[in-house]
């Protein structure tokens, strides 16, 4: 690609890097004679409509944004099957490279970078764009120190029309918000969580969660609390640590409501009034602050003016009036409304609880959380109750209100492998039961799930265990093993195939005077046994020399009824069944013939195909009286 010109305008100069989906090049806009960044979709994805759609989505997402901390999109095009984006060229390096080289960054530098990214996010969120992949790799730092956010490849419009990809984890796992790890819709607070992780890494030089595989890291985002940054880097001030941990709250409602709010808290920590390089103050906006009184300066300021006696009198009167007014106000406050005992509102509906407290002149603040037993909208707890000392109206009473049970919808695991099921359950905050059941199923291939408990669609508590049943394939059907004795090897194979059985090719050979060479002497399992279809039957074949031939004299009187009759003699012995004699005879004739047989035999006589006589001959006996 080096040296190629795309769109008859953009010349590719060198490769800057690449990801799993695209390759990034440094290029030159020959029309405007300026450097640009060209992102080219990898060839293996160019024909994939999903990847192409996602690639173009980045251009559409960023095209609606215009901010100095967001890398601009200049152009988008397609040429000879090549999909490409043309973006602003940033002369610098990504934040991940900076952290790898420098380790933990000074707090003031980390805060300044975070503030710039928050400004970019605030602009994106105001335009209903959620980035969904905030990580140091996507934050570029120019040589002048400006931070620029890039790679909106998996951004989504945060509107009611957003399509949820609930079954897919998107984003980089080390910076993934808990709701993204569960496969839920990413909101602006998801970007705030991810930036909290980035700020954590800037301050400590390491990500908060690591694991042996992506799934284990995702589970930690859902279940584990991060180690406070100050434990890894004692230089992190407490106030800054509070900002990081608030941004990384598992419950998105407990994080900063907007990127602007988080930026405001960080800005309060930056250098002010020529004091130390970074001054940190409590996050509480109502906390006490030091105010510097105005000074009276000599010649450089206002000159002090001496008061005349009359002025002193007026000043004294004014001070007395102020003191009197203050005393009256203090007395009025001290008398004020009488203190009241706060009524118990636990287990009451929120609206009823607020109405009751209002009757006592009390105000309410509400925080919400899930509760396994208390119905949604009912009060779980109150910070001040009847057991506490009386309070003066209008005191604010904080009520904790139930969101109802924190239930998760069990996903459909039908026809999934165990690993796929484990991932799907982890995304939903559920656990695959260690004991895996197995059974036969006619419709599901082996080693795939054909049944689960609880069933798909049921709502259960987080971390509930789901038992799955793996298919062993269709339940085997059974067949009766045929008697193969006396059959040749090929005949035995054909006979077994008729019963959906097979011949074990590992045969044994024995000498036999009862069976000819290549005939079955014995078998395992024996004939008449019921076995699963597909079972192999072992046989023992004769090496010979086989039985000695015997002869039997057969005499058949032909009925004397004036009709011509057909006489047929059939012999069944170790060779099988064969016709020894067949002919037509006049009425009253007598047929006499000699029949040869081997081993034990059965001789049958038919007149006009009707059996009229049958006799069994045992091995070793001659019979001349048939």
Q: What is the pLDDT of residue 158?
A: 40
Q: What is the pLDDT of residue 428?
A: 86
Known active-site residue 625: no
Preceding amide of 525 cis, omega within 30: yes
Backbone angles phi, psi at 597, to 5 degrees: -145, 165
Strands 396-402 and 363-369: parallel
What sign does the dihedral 53-54-59-60 (CA atoms) show? positive
Please tell me the distance from the alpha carbon of residue 591 to that of residue 606, in angstroms, as a whole number: 12
Preceding amide of 532 cis, omega within 30: no
Domains in the chain (CATH in brackets) are 1-89 (3.30.200.20), 92-284 (1.10.510.10), 350-402 (3.30.10.20), 408-471 (3.30.10.20), 478-545 (3.30.10.20), 550-617 (2.60.40.2560)
All residues at 6 or more sequence positions from 24 whose CB lies less than 8 Å from its CB, including other chains: 15, 16, 17, 18, 37, 38, 39, 40
Q: Of 29, 80, 91, 133, which residue is the catalytic one?
A: 133
Q: Which residues of 263-277 are buried (b: 16+ CB within 10 A; e: fewer)?
A: bebbebbeeeeeeee
What's the CA dihedral at 84, 87, 90, 91 to 10 degrees?
60
pLDDT in tens, 519-559: 999 999 999 999 999 999 999 999 989 998 999 999 999 99
Identify the CA nearest to 581 among candidates 564, 556, 561.
Answer: 556
pLDDT beneath 70: ranges in the chain: 19-20, 51, 54-55, 58, 61, 153-171, 271-336, 619-626
Q: What is the pLDDT of residue 298?
A: 36
pLDDT in tens, 543-554: 989 998 999 999
Q: What is the pLDDT of residue 295?
A: 34
Q: What is the pLDDT of residue 73?
A: 86
348 contacts 399 by C-beta, under 8 angstroms: no
Q: What are the Cα distances from residue 395, in Å, to 118, 263, 333, 400, 442?
A: 36, 31, 14, 16, 68
Q: What is the pLDDT of residue 270?
A: 73
Q: What is the pLDDT of residue 31?
A: 93
Strands 536-545 and 508-512: parallel
Please tell me the distance from the alpha carbon of residue 70 to that of residue 473, in angstroms, as a whole number: 55
> How wide is the angle at C-alpha 532 spanned by C-alphas 527 and 534, nearest 5°?
95
């Amino acid at each position: 690609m080096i040296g190629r010109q795309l769109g008859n305008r953009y010349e590719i100069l060198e490769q800057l890097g690449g990801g799993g989906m695209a390759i990034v090049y440094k290029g030159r806009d020959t029309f405007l004679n300026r450097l640009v960044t060209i992102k080219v979709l990898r060839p293996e994805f160019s024909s994939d409509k999903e990847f192409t759609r996602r690639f173009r989505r980045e251009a559409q997402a960023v095209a609606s944004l215009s901010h100095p901390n967001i890398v601009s999109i200049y152009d988008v095009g397609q040429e000879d099957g090549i999909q490409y984006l043309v973006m602003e060229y940033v002369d610098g390096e990504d934040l991940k490279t900076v952290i790898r080289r420098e380790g933990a960054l000074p707090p003031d530098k980390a805060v300044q970078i975070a503030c710039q990214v928050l400004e970019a996010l605030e602009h994106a969120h105001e335009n209903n764009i959620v980035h969904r992949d905030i990580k140091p790799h996507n934050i570029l730092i120019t040589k002048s120190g400006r931070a620029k956010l890039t790679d909106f490849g998996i951004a989504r419009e945060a509107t009611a029309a957003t399509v949820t990809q609930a079954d897919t984890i998107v984003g980089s796992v080390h910076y993934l918000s808990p709701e993204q790890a569960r496969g839920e819709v990413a909101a602006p607070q998801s970007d705030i969580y991810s930036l909290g992780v980035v700020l954590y890494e800037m301050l400590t030089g390491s990500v908060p969660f690591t694991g042996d595989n992506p799934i284990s890291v995702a589970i930690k985002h859902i279940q584990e609390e991060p180690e406070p940054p100050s434990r890894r880097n004692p230089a992190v001030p407490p106030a800054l640590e509070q900002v990081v941990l608030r941004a990384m709250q598992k419950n998105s409602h407990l994080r900063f409501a907007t990127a602007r709010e988080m930026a405001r808290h960080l800005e309060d920590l930056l250098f002010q009034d020529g004091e130390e390089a970074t001054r940190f103050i409590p996050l509480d906006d109502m906390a006490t602050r030091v105010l510097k009184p105005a000074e009276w300066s000599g010649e450089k300021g206002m000159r002090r003016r001496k008061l005349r006696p009359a002025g002193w009198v007026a000043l004294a009167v004014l001070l007395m009036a102020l003191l009197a007014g203050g005393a009256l106000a203090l007395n009025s406050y001290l008398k004020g409304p009488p203190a009241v005992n706060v009524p118990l509102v636990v287990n009451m509906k929120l609206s009823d609880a607020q109405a009751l407290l209002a009757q006592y002149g009390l105000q309410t603040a509400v925080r919400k959380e899930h509760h396994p037993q208390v119905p949604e909208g009912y009060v779980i707890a109150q910070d001040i109750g009847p057991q506490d000392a009386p309070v003066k109206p209008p005191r604010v009473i904080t009520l904790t209100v139930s969101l109802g049970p924190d239930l998760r919808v069990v996903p459909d695991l039908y026809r999934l492998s165990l690993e796929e099921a484990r991932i799907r359950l982890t995304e939903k905050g559920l656990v695959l039961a260690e004991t895996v059941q197995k059974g036969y199923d006619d419709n599901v291939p082996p080693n795939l799930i054909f049944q689960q408990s609880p069933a798909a669609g049921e709502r259960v508590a987080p971390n509930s265990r789901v038992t799955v049943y793996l298919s062993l394939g269709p339940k085997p059907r059974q067949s009766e093993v045929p008697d193969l004795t006396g059959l040749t090897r090929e005949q035995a194979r054909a006979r077994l195939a008729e019963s959906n059985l097979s011949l074990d090719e590992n045969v044994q050979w024995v000498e036999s005077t009862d069976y000819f060479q290549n005939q079955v002497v014995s078998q395992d399992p024996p004939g008449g046994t019921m076995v699963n279809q597909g079972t192999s039957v072992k046989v023992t074949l004769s090496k010979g020399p086989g039985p000695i031939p015997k002869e039997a004299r057969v005499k058949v009187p032909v009925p004397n009824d004036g009709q011509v009759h057909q006489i047929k003699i059939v012999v069944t012995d170790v060779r099988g069944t064969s016709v020894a004699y067949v002919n037509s005879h006049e009425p009253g004739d007598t047929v006499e013939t000699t029949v040869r047989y081997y081993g034990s035999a059965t001789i049958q006589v038919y007149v006009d195909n009707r059996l009229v006589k049958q006799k069994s001959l045992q091995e070793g006996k001659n019979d001349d009286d048939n």
